[in-house]
Structure 1
Amino acid sequence: MAPKVLVSDKLSETAVQIFRDRGIEVDFRPELGKDKDALAAVIGEYDGLAIRSATRVTPTILENAHKLKVIARAGIGTDNIDKDAASKKGVIVMNTPFGNMITTAEHAIAMMFAVARQIPEASASTHAGKWEKSKFMGVELTNKTLGVIGAGNIGGIVCDRARGLKMKVVAYDPFLSAEKAEKMQVEKVELDELLARADFITLHVPFTEQTKNILSRENLAKTKKGVRIINCARGGLVDEEALADALKAGHVAGAAFDVFSQEPATENPLFGLPNVVCTPHLGAATTEAQENVALQVAEQMSNYLLTGAVENALNMPSVTAEEAKIMGPWISLSGHLGNFIGQLTDEPIKAINILYDGAASQMNLEALNCAVVAGIMKTVTPDVNMVSAPVIAKERGVKISTTSQDKSGVFDGYVKVTVVTDKRERSIGGTVFSDGKPRFIQIKGINIDAEVGRHMLYTTNDDIPGIIGTLGQTMGENGVNIANFTLGRSAAGGEAIALLYLDAQPEEAVLQKLKATGMFQQVKPLEFDVA
């Protein structure tokens, strides 16, 4: 059955057609974005939800989203999506961070020009029939210092454009390396130095607990007298009351805001003040940007629903379409390894240690980690997936560690998973053969070669004669066919294991017969999700 997507906000017809052209059933119902009850009533039918800013994806909406796999926002900001609730539900949240970067950066530059030359007020005055040429004395941008808070994608473009305007650019960004700053031809500084030196300050960071009111009353007091402040990023980055006071006192010479702490902003401390330019969140509002993000969101959602490629996800590692092709068998293997060890472990898990060797170590390890953890957690939370599993593990205090190493054995690559509990450590290793099929290659340090089957039986015993006969005879007498049979031992007469691939899982009475022989320390039926 073809995946089904709901578009609950305005999206271009070209973008909607992309879904259809890719073989995805799509319902274009932009009226639902403003009707949360109607959206909640129908969301259970869909595998994907494409939105802009009108739709709010709340826990209530997600509770009804029984089939939902992905939510994609045509734009950067995802404040209208409860990402924690989506992650717990196992729903991927994507955005389209690159479609409107240039547009937003250009708007910041335009706002900087507008506040530097008081263009909106001069325009309004002239329209009113006045000719107040001497009233609107502006300042040049050339040779002024621009302080950029946040030098990521959009901030980086602003830096580039500002250098073209012959401005001196200083940037504050904890994630900006010295090498990257040198390449961008900007000076990397701490926040206090930026505040003290900048003639203009522009913000380009997301809204988080760390960035909330980054321009607080205290920090505004540290700025250079006559500074002009531009915010085209997110509302809440600047203490608007404090900024209004600084403007009235003459410490701040002007401000240009496209975003506000409360939107839609029908009233605000900045409104009505001289030399304050305000626009209604127009950063991404160009024809080109709206089309770009719409097309991007349609392509990303289609790629994920049809191929498993994860692009620009906010709550899961991204996996490109090419990676998805190569990694598919390894993701499957990782899930099976986690599921195997999870089915054997009854006590609470304290830690999960994952070793990647050879070819496996060169892959997207974050995605493989998610698959391992999902396989383990599936034994206690059946609906868990690669998105929700790390969240559940973190809530339970499970520590996850990863080690990678060069090829160290006969296999081109392998994955080994070890779980730690208060009572024991338990490990299993596996690889992917050239046929693309996952194999179990080591259990408890004992080498084996076992194909993964839907129904399997795992036993442990001392290495004594009669094990094969007992297992074969018991299965045969009870009508259980053995598709594959794998044995392994630590040493002659030492610890031994058997792994049977069965056509059907034996009934409990059959397992009790095996236990009653006294030959086995453990008899454990296993189930795997194998196509």
Structure 2
Amino acid sequence: MAPRVLISDDLSETAVQIFRDRGIEVDFQPKLGKDKEKLLELIGQYDGLAIRSATKVTEKVIAAATNLKVIGRAGIGVDNVDIPAATAKGIIVMNTPFGNSITTAEHAIAMMFATARQLPAADASTQAGKWEKSRFMGVEVTAKTLGIIGCGNIGSIVAQRAIGLSMKVIAFDPFLSDERAREMGVEKVDLDTLFRRADFITLHTPLTDKTRNVIDAAAIAKMKDGVRIVNCARGGLIDEQALRAALDSGKVAGAAVDVFTEEPATSNVLFGAPNIVCTPHLGASTTEAQENVALQVAEQMSEYLINGAVQNALNMPSITAEEAPRLTPLVKLAEQLGSFAGQLTDTDVKAVRIEYEGAVANMNTRALTAAALAGFLQPQLQTVNMVSAPAYAKERGIKIEETRREQRGAYESYMRLTVVTEEQERAVAGTVFSDGKPRIIQIKGINLEAELGPRMLYVTNQDKPGFVGRFASLLGDSGVNIATFSLGRDAPGGSAIALVEVDGDVPASLVSNIGTLPGVQQVKPLVF
């Protein structure tokens, strides 16, 4: 029986034809995604679901999807899919991460011109029968400084276009290496320097806890008077109230916004502000981009439904059926080592070294390296996956080094990941025991054994009597329960590490209080 795919959003006809050409039965209902009850009623009939942004694949929808095997999102964002629920039910979630990059970059450039020359307001005024030449005095972009926040796939295209416009380009991106910056012709700077020097600022970064409100009132205060800001990336990167106040005061001379904190944005604090250009999330809205992502998602879903091949999956590694039993626990270990290192890395990354020793050295280390990179980049780039992680790392000029060797120590399989930054090298190592569960066995050369839980506390301190008691008391007094407690040190009275699994979230005030304990050098909450 042929697989059945439902297309519940307005995808290109190209996608429909690709499915049919591959022998897959297609039900093209582009309005169905907006009818939640009808979608719930019908979803159980299909093996695959192809969507864009209108269809909300909630936990309720996934629960009703009794036969669903794969969800394909034509585009990069998967905010409308409950990925944990899909994963729990064994449904693969795919996206098309690079299909609309040029289109989004071009929209950012267009929006920059629109705010530089006040084009929408000038058009409305002229068509209203006015002739207000003096009112719409603009500025040139030639020789101006463009600050790019996030210089990955889309940001690098914007940089290329801006250099072609004779702009000076500076960029902030924690994962952008000096070498890659030189190749692109951009100057790598820290965020405060970008705010201070840029005439125009454009954002091209995912929305994460670290990037939320990256432009707020404090950031705007550091900027030049008369700066112009463009956001075609994600709503929530800019504090909209702060931007409105800065537009009203004239501190910000203009802004162009394609994305909003709440969408659809039928009302917003920015609407009606002086020299504001607003568009309804048009970054990926060109004929070419829609054709590209439609073609890609249809081909990826077809390959999986017919041949079992997995591409651009956000919740499943690219591993063959033969490799899966042995490799899957090692993939989890690689992801955890990467995530551990990524959550502790805040400075510019030059290289990531991964060492494989013992039995693992003879396995599919390419998949393991991709898993480690995905875990490492996840804290900064939440949409990254095993397929896209190597490309993201390459874009940012991060050198990836792999070493394989025969077993030397006591462990049958041993994996160590080292992050090289401008300031230091930090290594974390692990293995998989006979129970199939990954373990951390060494951090910064200090031996310990720890199984990573959903929420952890990582503390480095001087090895002094009384620390453990004071630390545990702080947690207890704050109502935070300890699940597991792992300790290690390099020598009596030397450097020590505590890796503690806790139940529930750790309040920021508690993290601050732990940091004030005598001898504590670093404290960091980690999430896995």
TM-score (norm 2): 0.65
Count residues with an aligned counterpart.
368
- Look up the match of 1:360: 363
Deviation, 1:405, is 2.8
User: Any conservation in 2 of the 1:334–1:415 contact (CA below 8 Å)?
Assistant: no
Contact 1:5 1:47 in 2 (8 A): yes
- Map 1:141-160 → 2, pairs under 5 A: 141-160=141-160
Counterpart residue number, 2:13: 13
Aligned to 1:41: 41
Unmatched tracts of structure 1, length 5 or more: 339-352, 370-386, 388-402, 426-531
Deviations 1:82-125 (A, max 9, x none): 22222222222221122111111000000000100111111111
Deviations 1:398-435 (A, max 9, x none): xxxxx9734679xxxx999852569xx9xxxxxxxxxx
Structure 2 counterpart of 1:139: 139
Counterpart in the other structure of 1:298: 298
Q: Which amino acid aligns with 2:9?
A: D
**Between 112-121 and 71-80, the greater mean CA deviation after superposition:** 71-80
Q: In the TM superposition, what is the alpha-carbon distance from 1:366 to its structure 2 partner?
A: 6.2
Q: For the structure 1 residues 358 and 335, does the alpha-carbon distance in structure 2 shift closer, same or farther, using more than 3 Å as the test?
A: closer
- Asked whether 1:419 is paired with 2:433, we answer yes
Q: Which residue of 2 aligns with 1:167?
A: 167
How far off is 1:6 after superposition? 1.2
State the Cα deviation string for residues 176-200 of structure 1 (Å, max 9, x = none). Answer: 1222111111111111111111110
Partner secondary structure for residue 289 of structure 2: helix
Cross-structure match for 1:331: 324
Larger radius of gyration: 1
Matches within 5 A, 1:512-531: none
Identical counterparts, % of pairs: 63
Distance 1:420 1:407, change over 3 A: closer
1:59 to partner: Cα distance: 0.7
Distance between the aligned counterparts of 1:144 and 1:212, measured in 2?
27
Q: Report the alpha carbon displacement of residue 293 of structure 1 after superposing the two structures with TM.
A: 1.0
Q: Secondary structure at the match of 1:253?
A: strand
Counterparts of 2:283 and 2:293, CA distance in 1? 13
Does the C-alpha gap of structure 1 residues 305 and 118 become closer, same or farther in structure 2, counting only changes over 3 Å? same
- Matching of residues 92-241 of structure 1 within 5 Å: 92-241=92-241
Deviation at 1:10, TM superposition (A): 1.1
Q: 2:79, 2:364 → 1: CA distance? A: 35
> Equivalents in 2 of 1:162, 1:222: separation in Å?
23
CA contact (8 A) 2:116 2:141 kept: yes
Name 1:506's counterpart in structure 2. none
Q: 1:357–1:406: 8 Å Cα contact kept in structure 2?
A: no
Per the alignment, in what secondary structure is the counterpart of residue 57 of structure 2?
coil
- Matched with 2:313 is 313
- Structure 1 residue 66: deviation in Å? 2.2
In 2, Cα distance between equivalents of 1:205 and 1:114:
21
Is contact 2:330-2:432 (8 Å) kept? no
TM-score of the aligned structures, taking structure 1 as reference length:
0.64
The answer on whether the counterparts of 1:355 and 1:404 sit within 8 Å (CA) in structure 2 is no
Q: Give the drift of 1:41.
A: 1.8
Find the counterpart in structure 1 of residue 262 from structure 2: 262
- Cα offset for 1:2? 2.6
Taking the aligned partners of 1:24 and 1:236, their CA distance within structure 2 comes to: 39
In 2, the alpha carbon distance for the partners of 1:164 and 1:336 equals 48
1:54: how far off? 0.7
| Cα separation, 2, equivalents of 1:337 and 1:129 | 69
* Kept after mapping to 2: 8 A contact 1:357/1:408: no
SS in 2 for 1:364: helix
Q: Which segments of 5 or more consecutive residues in structure 2 lack a partner in the other structure?
A: 332-355, 373-385, 387-401, 416-430, 440-528
- CA deviation profile, 1:278-305 (whole Å, cap 9, x unmatched): 1111111111111111111101111222
For 1:390-469, list aligned pairs within 5 A. Answer: 405-406=404-405, 418-419=432-433
Partners of 2:97 and 2:222 lie apart in 1 by: 32
Counterparts of 1:364 and 1:420, CA distance in 2:
21
Counterpart CA distance in 2 for 1:125 and 1:368 is 54
Q: Which moved more, 1:308-317 or 1:115-124?
A: 308-317
Q: What SS class does the counterpart of residue 88 from structure 2 fall into?
A: helix
SS at match of 1:109: helix
Deviation at 1:363, TM superposition (A): 3.7
RMSD value, Cα: 3.1
Instruction: Name 2:2's counterpart in structure 1.
Output: 2
Sort the Cα spacing of 1:181 and 1:308 in 2 relative to 1 into closer, same or farther, 3 A: farther
Letter in 1 for 2:433: V
